[in-house]
Amino acid sequence: MSSVDQQLEELKGEIEAELPADISISDVKYEGPELVVYTRHPKKFARNGDLIRKLASKLRKRITVRPDPESLSDPREAKERIREVIPEEAGVTDLDFHADTGEVVIEAAKPGMVIGRHGSTLREITQEVGWTPEVVRTPPIESSTVSNVRNFLKQERDDRRDILERVGRQIHREEMANDQWVRISTLGCCREVGRASFILSTAETRILIDCGDKPGAEGEVPYLQVPEALGSGANSLDAVVLTHAHLDHSALIPLLFKYGYDGPIYTTEPTRDLMGLLTLDYLDVAAKEGRTPPYDSEMVREAIKHTIPLEYGDVTDIAPDVKLTFHNAGHILGSAVSHFHIGDGLYNVAFSGDIHYKDTRLFNGAVNDFPRVETLVLESTYGGRNDYQTDQEDSERKLVEVINETHDKGGKVVIPAFAVGRSQEIMLVLEEAMRSGKIPEMPVHLDGMIWEATAIHTTYPEYLRDDLRDRIFHEDENPFLAPQFNHIDGGEDERQEVTDDGPAIILSTSGMVTGGPIMSWLRHLGSDPDSRLVFVGYQAQGTLGRRIQNGWDEIPINDRDSRNSGRSSTLTLKMDVETVDGFSGHADRQGLEDFVRTMNPRPEKVLCVHGDERSVQDLSSALYHDFNMRTFAPKNLETFRFK
């Protein structure tokens, strides 16, 4: 018997010892980080309200109880009973019974009403029908991403269960290593912005954190080929952790599966969906630009199939010696500060991922409170000595001014924006400004994937700022549903109409003007001196956005997207160019310092990454001088040992 089987056998014994005599256990299995307990008496189990909690705390495991397939009630009857138990207003849109696991997936407009106070409605369901309910939200704005992901996972259920069982056994394997150490290897994102990728390794375990591309630098990908990365095969990794869905962190995650990786990806549920959206678009863009994409869409599906979503605050075993906890990072939907607790008190490392320290309209500020943390790997996008950003209040005032001026001239405001994050923040600003009369009502056109990204936001309101979340799901005053917002889904024809029409605001991808519909908007409006191009986000070195910001006004326009396919020409930019900073999804220099200053506990060491050479150096020496901690500005391809 393998050590894991033996362990499960023992756990089964311990559980049985805790249970009343009339509740029996038919099987105990690992599925990913969870211990799944199959019982022939699911209803009795559910009636014994505290049982699961008691077991979980006794065994120090996350426990899920499921009915033994033998003891399932008839789905048709169960369906009726469930409909009776759940209040009408919950807006159930789908019930999906899975006899293999005894689970019923309930899709509802208001999941909270399906769950009930402290889960009371869920428990009632099990007491009534024996099935284990699982609840998901019906997207308030229809999202093809969300429904594709859900359908795909439904279809791949069997496969996925095999994966989870394999991963579960891997996580709970016996520790093999005699040695103890903790190391971080840098595979990208050092003294540069882009290609985020790190390996956190112990003698027992190897974890890849992020695997992104570098905007504006096609060939520069993470150093996956070096020995300490995938040199001995992609399956030398135990786990992949994704901090958030931006392509500079996620673009090459699917590539790992092409390289033969077959293990879990830990991330939040919204990041999983956004990663699906953004990586598929990444493949599209590559194809459109005539580049050979590094992988195909099949690999994106593999990534989604291997994702184990975690919620903020869940402490999760991801290896025999590593526990992972995600915390809100305030940067984009689902973005996570990733905290690793290693070796039962041996060491703690937090990767900030990308963070925003202050609250924004969209998100609460980044969490910097941990049980313990010795080393922090900190983004430094705005770590430079002078990288103080305007307060968002002032920025909003400036944006309102710019919009009003442009409106008065009869021009249009074109805002290049990342589909994910800044677009929604600006949408909230615009919605409020129009509602309160600070700017005139006018159409706000959303081009590229912004609409779809917004739909995903509304699917996961738990990840938004508290009051916004409440507006979305308690009060039915979802600002994203405001009538000004128009989805550009009519292509060039619709863009031409908008161009010919009156004042409007256009939010369009890509955020750094490296391609996408923004190129088309530049063609349409670039030569209109009454219109404005307004940058609201970070422009990386080497991107066209950065060049325009720096004053370039002769812009190479590839006409591929337009009707004169394939021709290349130069556009003389006549529209005003403005930068309204303060909307960045990144903490500015002050925010980064505040994040560290108020961090609890204060880390001993900080590695400053994800910033230009100057930014990481400046931040590193500032933190060293101000807080007397050991700070580093690593290079790519280094390995730091902490323990």
Which positions touch its own copies (CB under 8 A)?
A: 181, 183, 185, 206, 226-229, 231-233, 236, 635-641
Q: Under rule CB under 5 A, how many of the chain's residues touch Zn ion? A: 3
DSSP state letter for 501: S
576 has binding-site annotation: no
Residue with tokens 């690793």: 340
Indicate which of Zn ion, its own copies, none lies near residue 354 (CB less than 5 to 8 Å, by partner kind). Answer: Zn ion
Taking each helix axis from N to C end, the angle separating 297-305 and 144-155, rounded to the nearest 10 degrees, works out to 70
DSSP string, 544-576: HHHHHHTT--EEEEEGGGSSSTT-EEEEE--SE
- Sole window of 112-120, 241-249, 403-411, 539-547 interacting with Zn ion (rule: CB under 5 A): 241-249
324, interface contact from its own copies, Zn ion, none, CB < 5-8 Å by kind: none
Minimum CB distance to its own copies, residue 33 (Å)? 25
Is residue 125 within a helix (H) or strand (E), and if so which, with residue range?
Answer: helix 120-129
Could you count the other beta carbons within 10 Å of the beta carbon of residue 494?
A: 15
The response to whether 610 counts as a known ligand-binding position is yes
Q: Quick check: helix, strand or coil at residue 333?
A: coil
For position 612 contacting Zn ion by CB under 5 A, the verdict is: no
Cis peptide upstream of residue 510 (ω within 30 degrees of 0): yes
Start-to-end CA distance of the chain, whole Å, equals 34
236/486 with CB nearer its own copies: 236
Sheet holding 103-108, edge to edge: 92-98, 103-108, 132-137
159 annotated to a ligand binding site: no
- For Zn ion, the binding residues in 304-363 under the rule CB under 5 A are 354
Q: Is the separation of the CB atoms in 200 and 207 below 8 Å?
A: yes
**Conformation bin of residue 153: beta by default, left when phi > 0, alpha when psi is -120 to 50:** alpha
DSSP 8-state code for residue 382: T
Q: Which partner, its own copies, Zn ion, none, binds residue 248 by CB below 5 to 8 Å per kind? A: Zn ion
Q: Which is nearer to Zn ion, 113 or 193 (CB)?
A: 193
- Give the total residue count for the chain: 643
Q: Cα–Cα distance between 437 and 454 in angstroms, integer? A: 23
Of these partners, Zn ion, its own copies, none, which one is at the site of residue 183 (CB under 5 to 8 Å by kind)? its own copies
For residue 267, the minimal CB distance to its own copies (Å) is: 24
For the CB of residue 255, give the shortest distance to its own copies in the complex, in Å.
18
Q: How far is the CB of 240 from its own copies (least distance, A)?
A: 16
The pair of structure tokens assigned to 262 is 């077959």
Candidates 248, 281, 387, 618; binder of Zn ion (CB under 5 A) is: 248
Burial of 209 (0-12, 13-18, 19+ CB in 10 A): buried
Is residue 50 marked as binding?
A: no
Considering only CA atoms, which of 40, 65, 38, 39 is closest in space to residue 50? 65
Taking the least distance from each CB to its own copies, the nearer of 13 and 233 is 233
Choose from Zn ion, its own copies, none: what does 246 bind? Cβ within 5-8 Å by kind.
Zn ion
Please tell me whether 457 is known to bind a ligand: no
487 among the known binding-site residues? no
Nearer to its own copies, 496 or 639 (CB): 639
Tokens encoding 590 = 């002050």
DSSP state of 363: S
Residue 474, binding choice from Zn ion, its own copies, none, Cβ under 5 to 8 Å by partner class: none
State in angstroms the smallest separation of the CB of 299 from its own copies: 23
Cβ of residue 146: shortest distance to Zn ion, in angstroms?
21
Interface with Zn ion (CB under 5 A), residue from 246, 305, 546, 547: 246
- Shortest distance, position 625 Cβ to its own copies, whole Å: 18
Q: Are 114 and 90 in contact (CB under 8 A)?
A: yes
- Smallest separation, CB 605 to its own copies (Å): 13
Any binding-site annotation on 244?
A: yes
| CA 158/CA 161 separation, integer angstroms | 5
**Six-digit token pair at 489?**
């889904």
Binding site for Zn ion (CB under 5 A): 246, 248, 354
- Binding site members for Zn(2+): 244, 246, 248-249, 331, 354, 610
- Binding site members: 244, 246, 248-249, 331, 354, 610
